[in-house]
Structure 1
């Protein structure tokens, strides 16, 4: 099942095991997360969470490798559902990481 996200232009795919895979937008680059835990895919030259995909290690909120997607809201993006694009609380926006696909 492919789901288009209106707010970010991303396309998510729900995998049979319940994890989610996302397509990284063309031109995005991967950088180390500011806190050193994980990688963030973002447009070149940007430093905020606007329109980013973050992959991070398990923690107390998400006991599995997870990803979060942020929209373009000012000042620093808001975590959103990879299925609906609706704004979610930080706690509710951790998705089991199922992989990334890169557009060309």
Structure 2
């Protein structure tokens, strides 16, 4: 007696649904259940600081909301923001940082 091998139901349903064995092999990647120590939260690790020094300066003659500049060893100021007089800002940081330094005013 000849017996024909029947296709298993899961293979039949996959074929009818348009799913190929290659699609099944790829599948989703493994679930990452590891701890997220690098993410922000309560973990006891401080964030890296953004600035080495913070200072307050009054410069009403400046326009705009922010300025970036570099102070060189000889005391000259290189402005990354055009058209601003940055001496009052550099004077406020004098003694707080060793030259040369890069500064940002906000």
The structure number with the bigger radius of gyration is 2
Is the pair's TM-score, using the shorter chain for normalization, greater than 0.5? no
Taking structure 1 as the reference length, what is the TM-score of the superposition? 0.23
Structure with more helix by fraction? 2
Higher relative contact order (CA 8 A, sep 6+): 1
Structure with more strand by fraction? 1
